[in-house]
Structure formats: C-alpha cells, structure tokens
A = this chain, B = another copy of it.
Amino acid sequence: MATPSTSVAPTPLLKEELDIVIPTIRNLDFLEMWRPFFQQYHLIIVQDGDPSKVIKVPEGFDYELYNRNDINRILGPKASCISFKDSACRCFGYMVSKKKYIYTIDDDCFVAKDLTGKDINALEQHIKNLLSPSTPFFFNTLYDPYRTGADFVRGYPFSLREGVPTAVSHGLWLNIPDYDAPTQLVKPRERNSRYVDAVMTIPKGTLFPMCGMNLAFNRDLIGPAMYFGLMGDGQPIGRYDDMWAGWCTKVICDHLGLGVKTGLPYIWHSKASNPFVNLKKEYKGIYWQEELIPFFQQVTLPKECTTVQKCYIELAKQVKAKLGKVDEYFLKLSDAMVTWIEAWDELNTSGADVAPKGNGPAK
C-alpha cells in the first residue's frame, strides 16, 4: 500500500518478523508512551482474568487479543497448560504468533532514559542483541565484543570470535528492581538508578534469573522452550513463571549451542507489586528453588535431542523423575510441559489458523 513519503516514520527493524506480546488485565494506556517505538509492530495481547471485561487499546495500534474463552476455544483440553490469573498466560501469545521474533513487556513498564537523557528504544536494542552473535564459551572483559567501539580483548581465542546465534535477549529495569517478596519487604525504598551500559552473554553452564518483564527471543530458535509453566489460579505457586522458563531455556540453549544475553535495554518499571501478596505466591518457590537450581545445574540432555521440542520433552521427563519427589506439583507441571509442546506443534504446523479477535489482520 502506497503512503505519502513525507510524514512516514522509517520502517523499523524486523517490522514484519516480530510480534510484541503483552499480558494484561487492564486498559493498555501504557502503550501511549511506547507509541513511537511500537506502533509499527503487531501486538498480541493476552487478556488474563475475567474474559467479559473489555480491554481498551489506544487508537492506531495493530493488534490481536485473546481472552480465556479464546484460549479454551483454540486449545480445547490442551488449554489446561496455560495459566490463569497469572502473567504466565503470556506464553500463549508466543504459541499463536507466526513471527520469527517475540518481544514481551509488562503493562507497568514505561520508556526509560539513557545516560544522556534520551528516550531508550528498548525494542531496537533487543533486536540488535538478537541479530548479533553471543559468546557463551569464554568471557570477554569488555563485554559485548560486537558493539561499536569494542572488540575481543587480548587472550580471547580467535576460533571463538565468530560466536553463536543469539536466542534470548534479557533486558533490565530502572526504578523498581525485580526483587522477591522478602527483599521487597526488607528494602521497600530501594530503587535501581544505576545505568550499566553493557550487554553481555551469560556463559555456558551458568544459570540466571530470567525476568519476563522486558524480554525478547528468537521464536524459531528457542520458542518451544519459552513455556511459563503452571502458575496462579488453582496452582500452589506464582511469580516463578519466567524463572522456570529461564532455567529450561538456558539449559536447552547450552545444549544446542545458542546464546543468551543480558543487560541493555532498560525499561522504567513504574510500580512495585504488593510484597505481602507476592510472599504468598512465592513462598513455595523460594523453598523449592533450592532443589530446582541443583537440578538444572546438573541436568544433561542426550545427543539425540537435536530440536528444542525434543530437548523440552526430555526435560519434562527428568522433571517428573527427579523433581516429582520434591512435590507432586512437579508431576503436574511435567505433564503440562508435554501438553505445551503438543499444543505448540499443533498450532505451528502449516495451515493452522486461530482466528483471533481484534483489529489486526488474520494471521
């Protein structure tokens, strides 16, 4: 479609290859602030909670919206793997996307400013992170060696300088840091004001706490591992959705030789969630994670696992065998992991169409 060339913003990077996934229970006024950066992209909104509520999306955004009724209709009995009343529901958006890249952001995240006071285009930085290689096998002391003005330092093996494809870009948060409930309670006034001007690869074999607030990934490379688990309504745990996805994803990236980056871009996280509510959601997670981390640190995947799906199914088996002893929740979670992969494969074969609501074009 021809448009007048004078008043049109330049076509942003990966415009046709990236979906922005937003889980929400409220009107999306926060998009106003993101308009210059998001308006040319397609949004997938996953409405959590009461499906009869109408979520208002500001004018001019191209989106599709799914509520719980849509999820149930599209997935049928397999909808059981998608959490309800928890932002973990966002992973449904990853599943129904047909794009190569996903950016997901929480609706309490605003545009942050860089050290010069300029608005940060978070999405653009994520795309740069995803399109340049990662270096998981050896640490570069000047951080991202592919960034302008930087390189590999003396002593960095030349054979490793090509890097590996980047699967995940984990962005950070200014203002309200992503603390657990106990830390929120102990430090209610702590704000993150330190702008660390770096992107780095998380080394192979090292786990990290992946936060889903400001996260991008290559869906083709790692999508099926980005399952946010069973959280919220009817589950004994919340606020571990992104952590679970991060641990599974990192182990699979390490196995498949893919990279995970963290650092820039920052978003402005506007408001701390209630620490008392969070404590209730988290307390089993805080306890269980002491067993989960050693499990993920020791897990190995056999050579036969050559696709993300195969890795994930194998991981589900090991979760059942080893974490089932920790709590029966993990038996249920293991089954849900398998269901997730079945649903993913169903929706991601050619011809699958899910007929979304919203003003966007049918995919």
Contact = CB atoms under 8 A, between A and B. Distances in A.
13 contacts: A138-B206, A141-B208, A141-B262, A142-B194, A150-B194, A153-B177, A154-B178, A154-B179, A154-B180, A154-B209, A155-B242, A196-B196, A198-B198
A127 interface: no
User: Which range holds the interface residue count of chain A?
Assistant: 35 or more
Contact of A151 (B115, B170, B187): B187
Given A170-B141, A207-B138, A192 B150 contact: yes
A305 to B, nearest CB: 21
A156 interface: yes
Within the oligomer, what is the number of copies of this chain? 2
A54 interface: no
Main secondary structure of the interface of A (DSSP, over half): loop
B180 A155 contact: yes
Contacts of A138: 206-209, 293
Interface in A162-220: 170, 172, 177-180, 182-183, 187, 190-198, 202-211
Contacts of A154: 178-180, 183, 209, 211, 239, 243, 282
A204 B139 CA distance: 11
Contacts of A180: 153-156
Contacts of A262: 139, 141
A246 interface: yes
